[in-house]
Every structure is written in structure tokens, then in C-alpha cells.
A and B are shown apart, each in its own frame.
Chain A
Amino acid sequence: MNWSNLYVIFRREVLDQLRDRRTLFMIFVFPILLYPILGYGIIQATVAREKKPRIVVVVGAEYLPTEEPLLSPGGNGFNPGLLDPLQDTGPLLVQPESGKGPWGTPEWREQAIRNGTASAVMVIPPDLPRQFREKNDVEIPILYRSVDEPSQNTYFRLREILDRWKRGIVDARTKKDNLPQGYAQPIQVKGRDVATVQEVQGNTWSLIFPFLLVMMSLTGAFYPAVDLCAGEKERGTMETLLISPATRAEIVLGKFLTVMLASVMTAVLNLVSMGLTGIFLAHNRAGLAMEPTQHAAAAAGLAPPTLLSALWMILLLIPLAAFFSAVCVALAVLARSMKEGQYYMTPLYLVCLPLIFLTLLPETKLNLFYSLVPITGVSLLLRALIMGDYATGGRFFLPVMVPTVVYAWMALRWAIDQFQREEVLFREAERFNVGVWLKHLVRDRQPMPTGGQAVLCFSLILSASWFLMEYMAIQGIGANLAAVAAGQFLILFPPLIMAVMLTSSLRRTLRLNWPAPRYLLLAIAFPVALNPLVNQLGHLVEQWFPISSIIKQSLSQIMSESPSLWVSVGVFALLPAICEELAFRGFILSGLEYRRGTRSAILLSALMFGFLHVLLSLFQQLFNATLLGIVLGLLAVRSRSLLPGILFHFLNNALAVTQGHWVHGLEAAGLASWLYRNPEEGLYHGFWIAVSLLVSTLLFLYLWRLDRADRTAETHGVAPVL
């Protein structure tokens, strides 16, 4: 990496963007104008709505009592003593009508509500004074229309006014009859809000801020990426840049950093503008001569988040912006023109929007699964931090940050990858025909699958597994041995069919070679050496992120329904070892290796392997599965055979399935306490864990150095034999 080239490219791209009126408008002018206008508009609309008087027709007002009055002395409003100064905003106009006129008929009253002449109609029965005297129960009907919001609000306000009026009447009666205060009101409910000021403030912001921050950072990355990649192709400058001595990685990084800067700037400026508008509006509302408590409520709702929250947001924003920027750059370079670039961005928005919308639902809480979901994890963490929930924030900081950084890194690798591809850089328009394309897939098969086919295979496995689980849920089939086996076959079929249809060498794609004996020895040594470490890691993960008791129960139920230990070993060890290895270390890893470094191919396939385990069984398996996936991937690549992986996988699973049995055996022989600190859960003594770590690392390093050179003998045949 030549840092000077990277800097030169970055500087030029930034200057170029700063000279582009459209970019400047989107980043600087738009947010500065948008929020004040939006805020002012909302305030105006609210004020206009609040100021509009609501008309309440009181039919039969003449029957109302004079002591404990309901209406004001003039008769055109309610008794001011019955109004709540804090909540009753906007006047309620009373229009007293006689029950003998047209208002006496129900049709007339209903019609008045329907055509909006009155927001509500209250009917005072003629016998009200008599019933009052006799202390009987009186019914006062209120007519309103629930589909009309002002009418419904008027109804709620009327009920509160009548409640207060009723309480006044009851008070007067208890006083008059010398009854104790608690006679009419045996219980008084007093709610006390324990939310802190930051939580109250944060609640409003925590819903809106993450949403806006994520949206803005995507929007901010979008246009510059299209301009920098597709636009550069369209203007004919891309080829010139590619012929300069700068490497593709330098070019991509220069462009990526520019897009990321634009993304972060857009998001931050939007937030600043929104925050300032919020402060201004809060003060302004206070200035509109309302009660002090109202001022506090308004200010609490609109005041910007604290400095600490703001810092958190910016810290989390950076990997998120990096992710968006890399994805946008990789997509934009596919496009031949700016116009085509816009097309590619629509699906990106469609994928991102549901992930962002999730965070708008108050009931969505950050958990381990969400922390893995790109975008959603970051947004939910942002929400927790803005609300000042630092306990959640601290616990999930790494689970959210690490995947986000990994996703950003993978997206960046993808973008660099795109820039290396001739067919992407020099793509020409062509007519697409599905039939011809399918024919091409079969006719021009290459010995090994491509990266795209590997990803497709993984998606097929995921969706097939998902459909199986949905089907089982609909049919009411609980998890059982047959279902586990069926799940394994679903993992096997997509790669097998794809390997037969799309590749010309089944042997190379699925690594159906006989390995050197040392790899088989390694495949036996590895799972044994790793066992203490794997058990310990599983235990730690379970401590951090406990497995619910229901899931534990159903798991042990599946195990217990197995007729014999051999069946368990077959279903949980042999079957997964064959099916998952053929899929992940066979087809998928072969495809990912296509024009990609071995390391990233192994890592990517291991992550896919881990993710499948999250979907199929438990989130908690992610860490172990990914870790084992890395070792299995390296074993497959180095041995150029699937067999060591199958053996390793089988032994690893079999050790776990039969753990109870051989621990009992060891206990009987008196060896268990020598090995385990907790034989029930298979937890080894610290010494053995350290030995395990050391031996596994040494084995891994040994494997890493093994047979590196002869890998070149079997590179992918991209070109035809000439």
C-alpha cells in the first residue's frame, strides 16, 4: 500500500465532491434548511389545531343545578374551576340549547355531529334536579364521533370535566352529611414515574435518532459512491485512473474514504441541525407563555441528547458508515452510468429499510441475535446508549461492534474485488435472455464454482432450512431426531445439485481426493486437543448469554428420545460431518476460493457455517461453530481433501454427544477428578485448558505452514485451454 497514492486519490475525490453543487446541497444545505422548516411547520400545525375552539352543545342546560355549577356564569364555557390548566389547551365553547327545540330530537343531534356543527353534544335529562335531590344515579349521554379525532378528544375532555364536577358534588354531599373523606373515595391512586430526566429526554430521541442517523449515513454514502464509481466510468476517466501506477486497493480505499467522510458528515450535520432546531423550538415554546411545567415537558422531549450520548453515536457511526460506504462503492462500480447506479441503490434501500424500521418499534430490544444483524444491531445499541442504558450498552458493545467491523471489512474486500474484475470494469450493455444464460451456465461450466455460486448455495441452504422449520411449526411438529436428520439432508442437496449442474469437476469442487496420512492424524489429534477449549468456550458463552430453559428442555428431550447411543452419534455426529462438510468445505469453500485469498475464503466460509448454526439451533453455537469452521476450512484447503474435515467434524461432535458416557467411565476409573473441575458439564481444570490452548495453537500453526507451496499446482482454471 502506497499511502501517498492513497492520500492523493482521497484528496482529489474530496475536492471533487466539494466542488459538486449537488453533493454540497445534500450534505450541507439540505439539513440546515430541512429541520427548521420542518420544525416550524409542525409547531404551526399544532398551534393552529390547538387554537381552534371546539363547540360543545349542551342540550337542556336549563336543568343544571346552580350550586356546584358546571358552566361558567355567562353560560358559553365551562366552569373555570373544573378545567385543568396544564392539560386543557384550546377553548371549549359551550352552546346551551333548550331540550324543547330541534336539539331535543336525537336525529338532529347526530346530524350536528356528523356535519361538524358541534364536536360533541351533551344531553342533560329534564329530571336531573329531582334525581340530584333524591341522590339517585343520573345518566348524561355525550354524543361524539370516534373516527373524527377532534370530536373524540373533545369527548375525553368532557369526561374529565364531568369527573371533576362529580367529585365536587360528592365532596359537598360528604361535608353536608358529616361523612369522613374516605367514604366516597376509599382508594386514591398516585403513580410515581421513576424515569430519570435523561431517560425522559432520551425516550423521544432514542426512537428518532438511530433511525435518522442510519438513514442519513446511507443517503450520505449513496450519491458520492455513484458519482465516484459509475460517474467515473461514464465520464471515461476510470480507465485513465486504472492505468496510473496506483493499485486497485489504493484507488478503492481512496474512493471509499471519501464516501465514508461524506456519509459521516451527512449524518452528523443532520443530527446537529435537528438538535439545534429541537433546542430552539423548546425555548420558543417556553416563550409562548405556557406554564413552567409545560416548558419542562416540552424541553425534555426536544432537548438534544447529552454530550456522552453524542460521543457514543459518533463512535458507533464510523463502522456503520464504513459498512454503507463499502457496500455502495461495490454496487456503484457494477454500474456503467450514474443512471444505472441509481437502479442498484433501490434494492439496497429496500433491504436496509426494514432493518432500520425494526428499531422504530419500542418493543424491539437489543439481544444477541439482533446484535449480529447488520444495521439493526448498531441502531438498537444507539438507542440503548441514548437512553443512558449503559448496562445494556456495555454488555452488547463488543457483540455489536465486532460484527459491524467485520461486515464493513468484508464489504470493503468485496469492493476491492469488484475493482479487480475485468468484466465489471469494462462491462458492456447486452441483451439478457434467461434461456441463453442457463444454457451458458451448463455449457461453459468451469471446474470449480464461482464465489457468486457459493453465496447462492449458502442462501439456498438457509432458505431451505428456514422453510423446513416453518413447515414443522405449522404442522405442530416439535424438534425430534427425524427433523434433525431432514435438516442435514437439506444442507446436503443444494451443494450436490449445484456441483453436478454447474461445475465440470466434481472431484475438485467437493475435494474428493485421498489425503496424505498426516492430515488424517491431524484430524484425530485436533478435536481431542480442542475439546477442553471448546467446552470452556461453550460454557463461557452460555454464562454471558444464557440459554432459555425451554430450549434446554427441548434439546435434552431430543437426546433422550434416541433409542441408543449409536443412533445419537449417527444423527448428531456422522450425518452433520458428511453433509455440512460437503456443503461448507466442499462447494462453498471452493467457490469462495475462486479469485480470492485463501484466508478470506476460509474466514467467510467459517462465518457462514457459524450463521447456519444460529439459524438451525442456537445463537450460542455461533462462536464455537465459527472457530471450528476456521480450523476445518484450513484443514480442507491444505489437505485438498474433504476426508480429514469429515473425520474431525465427526470426532468433535461425537465427543460432545457421548460426553456423559465416557465421563461416567472416567469417574468409575477414578480419573474424572484428575481431568475435570466439573465432570457434569465437561469442564476441565485450568491446566488442561491451557494445555489445550497451547497444543491447538501449535497444531494450527503447523497446519498453516503445511503444503503451502504446492497449492499453486491446482489453481482455478479461469482461462480455457488454448
Chain B
Amino acid sequence: MIHVERLCKSFLDYQRGWVFAVRDVSFDCRPGEIFGLLGPNGAGKTTTLRVLSTVLKPTGGHAIVAGHDVVAEPQAVRSNIGYMSASTGIYDRMSAWELVEYFGRLYGLHPERLRERMEIIFDWLKMNDFRETLGSKMSTGMKQKVSIARTIVHDPPVLIFDEPTSGLDVLVQRVVLQKILELRDMGKTILFSTHSMHEVEKLCQRVAIIHKGELQVAGEPHELLQRFDQPDLEELFFHLVDRADHEAAMAEPAADRPAGARNVGSSDQPDLPSLPH
């Protein structure tokens, strides 16, 4: 359902020249599974997901989402995905119902079908008591629920969650994760990015660890632990990050990099990933 092959995204920064945000990233994500994209802040997770959601154009490689190429058929890709991130806001001057209805209509849902879908979703997310509440008056939990409702209103086969729990309190986090699990059980293809090991352990069937724009390793968590002989995901993560930094330091003078191209954050220390709870 999601097929990513040697995906690259670089951009021109006037201070650093051409910068790779994502480099040669490949992975697959199947229906009925949650695929985790684990990495520190600035690793390139958001850029990868933005390319998959077609708002950014890749500078190399290709990606197929729900059977459509992200470059050739962006419109078809967008119709078949739901995208949510912690930073996605909701409209202050629209009620929960209006907002979900607005996006439902943009997705081309027939009014009757939209109404049915919305009733089901509002029941499922227990949103009926704040249907008419304006965005500006909602609590963070309510807003996240509206965002989930907006993401799935058109019943897309592919769902992309970009750190959907960051900055949320534990109660809201729990609801969001619970709903993602339920969506997986409905057979959706789910791509889930996070910097929290705990969430990966709880949700993901398979995980890819991404650091400095490059994919370090991908596979099922227990299989990865065995392969690298690490006791838990956290240790595995630090091991891979150290290894990547070491390799980068060794490869710095190597000639295989295009002139002027650098990886993101080569000089900055990435934020430490949060510890499992």
C-alpha cells in the first residue's frame, strides 16, 4: 500500500548550500499493519511523510501510495490518504461538525454518505457532546479527536500519522494511540512516525529507524533486537545512532557525496529521544 524506494529530498539552503533532508530511504508498508518511523527530532521523518502526502516533491527516488505515484498522480494520492500530525491545527471559528463536514466535502463525499460517515465517526470518537463547539473553545483532547475525525472522514485506505501524540498529556495520548490501534484492526495501512520507543513497542508491527535523513535499519522490533544483539529498543536506537555518527565522521572526506551536499544536522546534536514510560 505504501512503497518507498530510494527516496531523496534535498533543498537549497542559502547558508549551507544543498542539504539532504532525506536520502535513499526505502521501505514498504502493508494493509493492516502499523509501520513505525522512529528517529530523533530533525531526522527527516516529517520530510518523508510530507513527500508521501505530496505537499513536497521528492528530488530523487519514487514512492507509490495506495497504488498511485506521488509525483505523477498527486491528486489521486491525496484522495486516498488521511494525514495527521500534532501540529495540524483546526479552524478556530468552525465547530467540530462543520470542520469535519468541510473536509468531507473537499474529499468529494456525497452529502448523504458524508452525513452517515460523520455520525459513525462522531459516535466512535465520542464527539457528540461537543459537535457544535467552536475550535477556539475546545480542549487539546477535543482538538485531537476532531483531527482524527477529519483524517478518516473519507475512509482512506492509507493513514499517515506524524508524531500525533507529541505535546499531549498522557490521557489524550492514550486515546489517540487506542484509536490508531482500532484503525489498524479495520485493515488500514498506517504509517506512524514518532521519537518515542514506548509508542513503537506498543503499536508497531515493523519499524524503521531513521537518523540524519538516512534509514539505518528496518524490520520487526524483536528481529532487530536479535540481529544487533541489543536488550531493548532504546539500546538498539542508541547503538544505531552512534554507529551512524561514527560512519558519518569517517566518511566526511569521502568523495561519494555531491559537491556541497551535506546531511541535515551534521553539526547539531539531535535531541535525545524520550525514554519509555
A and B found bound together: yes
Whether B27 is near chain A, meaning CB under 8 Å from some CB there, is no
Whether B232 is near chain A, meaning CB under 8 Å from some CB there, is no
Indicate if the CB atoms of A12 and B102 lie closer than 8 Å.
Answer: yes
Contacts A245-B78, A245-B108 hold; do A444 and B17 have CB atoms under 8 A apart?
A: yes
Among candidates B12, B55, B258, residue contacting A243 with C-beta atoms closer than 8 Å: B55
Contacts A240-B150, A243-B55 hold; do A720 and B261 have CB atoms under 8 A apart?
A: yes
User: In the complex, what residues of A have CB within 8 A of residue B103's CB?
Assistant: 240, 244
**Assembly CA distance A436 to B94 (angstroms):** 44
Indicate if the CB atoms of A422 and B57 lie closer than 8 Å.
Answer: yes
Among candidates A4, A239, A246, A718, residue contacting B85 with C-beta atoms closer than 8 Å: A239
Whether A440 is near chain B, meaning CB under 8 Å from some CB there, is yes
Indicate if the CB atoms of B79 and A237 lie closer than 8 Å.
Answer: no
**Assembly CA distance A443 to B88 (angstroms):** 36
Tell me the residues in window 128-177 of chain B with beta carbons closer than 8 Å to chain A beta carbons. Answer: 150
Q: A420 to chain B: closest CB distance in Å?
A: 10
**Assembly CA distance A425 to B83 (angstroms):** 17
Total CB contacts across the A-B interface at under 8 A: 97
Q: How many residues of B contact A (CB 8 A)?
A: 40
Q: A426 to chain B: closest CB distance in Å?
A: 7
Whether A433 is near chain B, meaning CB under 8 Å from some CB there, is yes
Whether A79 is near chain B, meaning CB under 8 Å from some CB there, is no
**Assembly CA distance A236 to B55 (angstroms):** 14
Tell me the residues in window 89-112 of chain B with beta carbons closer than 8 Å to chain A beta carbons. Answer: 89-94, 102-103, 105-108
Q: B99 to chain A: closest CB distance in Å?
A: 9
Indicate if the CB atoms of B258 and A721 lie closer than 8 Å.
Answer: yes
Indicate if the CB atoms of A720 and B55 lie closer than 8 Å.
Answer: no
Tell me the residues in window 251-276 of chain B with beta carbons closer than 8 Å to chain A beta carbons. Answer: 258, 260-261
Whether B8 is near chain A, meaning CB under 8 Å from some CB there, is yes
Indicate if the CB atoms of A719 and B60 lie closer than 8 Å.
Answer: yes
Contacts A242-B55, A247-B75, A720-B10 hold; do A440 and B106 have CB atoms under 8 A apart?
A: no
Among candidates B59, B87, B90, B93, residue contacting A722 with C-beta atoms closer than 8 Å: B59
Tell me the residues in window 372-410 of chain A with beta carbons closer than 8 Å to chain B beta carbons. Answer: none
Q: How many residues of A contact B (CB 8 A)?
A: 36
Indicate if the CB atoms of A8 and B106 lie closer than 8 Å.
Answer: yes
Contacts A423-B11, A425-B55, A444-B12 hold; do A20 and B106 have CB atoms under 8 A apart?
A: no
Whether A544 is near chain B, meaning CB under 8 Å from some CB there, is no
Whether B196 is near chain A, meaning CB under 8 Å from some CB there, is no
CB-nearest residue of chain B relative to A16?
Answer: B93
Indicate if the CB atoms of B91 and A237 lie closer than 8 Å.
Answer: yes
**Assembly CA distance A243 to B83 (angstroms):** 7
**Assembly CA distance A433 to B16 (angstroms):** 12
Q: B45 to chain A: closest CB distance in Å?
A: 14
CB-nearest residue of chain B relative to A721?
Answer: B258
Whether A19 is near chain B, meaning CB under 8 Å from some CB there, is yes
Which residues on A are within 8 Å of B, measured CB to CB? 4-5, 8-9, 12, 15-16, 19-20, 235-237, 239-240, 242-247, 422-423, 425-426, 430, 433, 436-437, 440, 443-444, 718-722
Q: List 30 A-B contacts (CB under 8 A).
A: A4-B108, A5-B108, A12-B102, A15-B94, A235-B89, A235-B91, A237-B90, A239-B55, A243-B53, A243-B78, A244-B103, A244-B107, A245-B78, A245-B106, A247-B75, A423-B11, A425-B55, A426-B56, A430-B14, A430-B15, A440-B14, A440-B17, A443-B17, A444-B17, A444-B260, A720-B10, A720-B59, A722-B59, A722-B60, A722-B258
> Closest 6 interchain pairs by CB?
A236-B89, A440-B14, A719-B59, A235-B89, A19-B93, A244-B106
6 further A-B pairs in the complex, CB-CB below 8 A; given A243-B83, A719-B10:
A235-B89, A235-B92, A245-B106, A422-B11, A437-B14, A444-B14
